[in-house]
Structure 1
Amino acid sequence: MASNGDLDLTEIRGLRGSPGYFKKGKLLSIDEVSACLEFKEHLNDARENMKFYISNVKTDQFFKLNIEFPITKLRHVTTEDCMRCIVQEQYIGIGNNIKPEPLKDLSCWSAEFPPKEELPYEQAFEKVQRIVPTWDAEPFQEEIKDQFASSPAFDNSSSRYGNFVFSFPLSDLLKAYKSQHCQNGDPQLKVLGTAMYSQEIAHMVIVHSPDTDRYDKLPMVQTVSSTAESLPFFYRKEEDGELYWRPESTSGGLRVTISEGGEIYTCPLNKTRTGKFCVWNHLIVAFHLPDSKYLVIPEKQLLENLSACEPAMPYLKDPRTNLSKAEAEEIIKELKNSQ
């Protein structure tokens, strides 16, 4: 049984004041998030929303697939003014720093994944077939493919945070961070915690200097063998030294659900045509940049790794910054031509 300390949450506010919660030092499962929300009383509106979405899917076997994704690339999305400032100043800082203590002084990046057609759908379908051995999963194959990796965390074409995307190999960012912020060793990679909003369960990993003691109590990201009986949500693989993430939910909505007994069936479409609403996992890698420091990236590299995307709903930045992808692409083209 979980102790009260295991269930403690800190209230946080996201962009435009969206309410949420944070659990320090642990990447929570959907079941653990559910336990935390049940334990707390008199919490903000995000609690009731997430409780509703979790109740939709908590027992669904589709969330037992845990397909692993290699994490080799990160993306930072922003608005036009911020993008121009980053290019002009040649660095990325912490942005809005009005955050509770565990999330202060951080530059947050999301994992970037290959196009959906390159993701391991076959592995997901094979696992579905094993879960429903007495049922024929073939008639549901297209719906399963559509809902696999369909959440905002896997969408490179749009973002709720702006129209301008800086995308870099993780190895390049770690190399820059080491040279600029780690005087006495290598960057430390630790489990920062889990941020929870209405539908999003974000697993957060922090990169920090060995010179700071601020994160001494956080657990290190584990190095494990792929043959281990139990794998964490985020880990470094012993065999290749690469980082991997195993989210429970890769879907923004479910057209196919699998009961605890292994029955498989389709859900009616909702108004967004996604089927049953559900929670989804997000991976965030945060770089610790204290004392108004920043991550320096030369202008040439910034422009080479800058692209445009469509706005996604709900759009969480100032509505006046909301552009179409075509408008953002034209701005980037003019900026590159002026260099």
Structure 2
Amino acid sequence: MNPQINKRGHSNHEVKGEHWNLEDLKAKTEPGTNQYLFRDNIPPYPKPEFHVRHLKHDTNKNGLHGIRGDEGFRNPGYEGFRNPGKDSLLWWSLVVEPDEITAAETRLLETTYPDRTEEQAQNQWSFLWKFATSPAFMKTSRMGSYRFTFPLEEVLDAYREQFCDGKRPVMRVYSTHLYKQEVMYAVLVHSPAHNRKFRRYPLLSDDPNGVCTYKDGRFIWRSQAMSETHEYKLVWRPDQNLMKGRYLYYRPQYYVWDHVAVALHVEDQVLEFDVGRLRENLKFCNAGPVTLPGATFEDFEEAEETVQDLWPYHPSPLEEE
């Protein structure tokens, strides 16, 4: 992996064109590179498969003004002909909805215990939410007080019409980034017109063992580490075809956590949406326990005033995530 500093000032190690799962990362990374990745006292935990149908884009007050003025999303760091290709990507993240956690739990149980009875299924208590504690599942933000949440297919449809001349966008395995406690898997989305430019990156295939794939209008994310802080231990009960999360009464264990980001190749253009649609998909977010450099946050009352100024005729009040 190659060490680098991203545009937000965070140091990380990056591998281009591959999605390394945790086993790959441990096998191919020097042990001294990351103190969390190589911890050997992490209790058993689930690795479910999430079928995700929404994307989110978090921003601060300045970014919100820019999005309203542009009537859409752009990458403000684009450097054009001075540095072609640099910062030409618009970044979104996957949003795992509560019903998608429930569905992932059902898939995990059916895969683990394919012969369980209806009575055993009824006796199974929900447990996966106990492990969904990383920032990937939080309603808070690391970026700013404003979150736009769009259906995945709506974003891809807009991108197809505005950037691909109506053709299907191309998806590729872009990179794996290892931060201090975070593993980010990036998927690149671009126009078929740029196939030659991005040919070094493998196409995102329907690999049943891949960390992330795309199928039937959803991203399939096979999470490698869904709990930044491990307060529960996964317990199997094969005699009853059950699973449960057992609370750990000793000190919680800290580990890496993973998530998937989607990078749309836009260069200096704007991914446009109807301004009313932008407002419909906007909510207020509180600051998370850890925020990124450059992130700024307002209280809810100030955010209400800001949004009212930008969308004065919208009939509904600002909602909190």
Identify the TM-score tier after normalising by the shorter chain.
Answer: 0.7 to 0.9
Residues 1:295 and 1:127: Cα distance change in structure 2 (over 3 Å) = same
- Which residue identity does 1:236 align to in structure 2? Y
CA deviation after TM superposition for structure 1 residue 125, in Å: 7.5
Counterpart among 18, 32, 38 of residue 26 in structure 1:
18
Higher fraction of helix: 1
Secondary structure of the corresponding residue to residue 188 of structure 2? strand
Matched, 1:72 2:72: no
Any conservation in 1 of the 2:55–2:93 contact (CA below 8 Å)?
A: yes
Structure 1 residue runs without a partner (length 5+) = 1-8, 42-46, 131-140, 225-229
CA deviation after TM superposition for structure 1 residue 127, in Å: 7.7
CA deviation after TM superposition for structure 1 residue 243, in Å: 3.0
Counterparts of residues 235-254 of structure 1 (less than 5 Å): 235-237=213-215, 240=216, 242-254=218-230
Secondary structure of the corresponding residue to residue 158 of structure 1? coil
Aligned partners of 1:111 and 1:288: how far apart in 2? 17
Counterpart among 217, 231, 244 of residue 209 in structure 2:
231
- Which residue identity does 1:216 align to in structure 2? R
* Residue in 1 that maps onto 2:95: 112
Question: With structure 2 as the length reference, what TM-score do the two structures score?
Answer: 0.79
Query: C-alpha root-mean-square deviation of aligned residues, in Å?
Result: 3.6
* Residue in 1 that maps onto 2:134: 151
Structure 2 residue runs without a partner (length 5+) = 114-124, 239-244, 315-321
Counterparts of residues 249-288 of structure 1 (less than 5 Å): 249-257=225-233, 266-268=247-249, 270=251, 275-288=252-265
Residues 1:277 and 1:268: Cα distance change in structure 2 (over 3 Å) = farther
- Which residue identity does 1:255 align to in structure 2? E
Residues 1:254 and 1:121: Cα distance change in structure 2 (over 3 Å) = farther
Secondary structure of the corresponding residue to residue 17 of structure 1? coil
Any conservation in 2 of the 1:50–1:197 contact (CA below 8 Å)?
A: no
CA deviation after TM superposition for structure 1 residue 281, in Å: 1.1
* Residue in 2 that maps onto 1:6: none
* Residue in 2 that maps onto 1:87: 68
Partner deviation per Cα, 1:123-149 (whole Å, 9 max, x = no partner): 38848986xxxxxxxxxx78x545322
Residues 1:20 and 1:101: Cα distance change in structure 2 (over 3 Å) = farther
CA deviation after TM superposition for structure 1 residue 332, in Å: 2.2
Aligned partners of 1:125 and 1:231: how far apart in 2? 15
- Which residue identity does 1:173 align to in structure 2? V
Q: Which consecutive aligned stretches of 4+ in structure 1 deviate over 4 angstroms post-superposition?
A: 100-103, 127-130
* Residue in 2 that maps onto 1:48: 34
Residues 1:33 and 1:167: Cα distance change in structure 2 (over 3 Å) = same
* Residue in 1 that maps onto 2:77: 96
CA deviation after TM superposition for structure 1 residue 97, in Å: 4.9
* Residue in 2 that maps onto 1:44: none
Question: With structure 1 as the length reference, what TM-score do the two structures score?
Answer: 0.75
Matched, 1:306 2:289: no
- Which residue identity does 1:231 align to in structure 2? N
Secondary structure of the corresponding residue to residue 193 of structure 2? coil
CA deviation after TM superposition for structure 1 residue 286, in Å: 0.7
Secondary structure of the corresponding residue to residue 302 of structure 1? helix
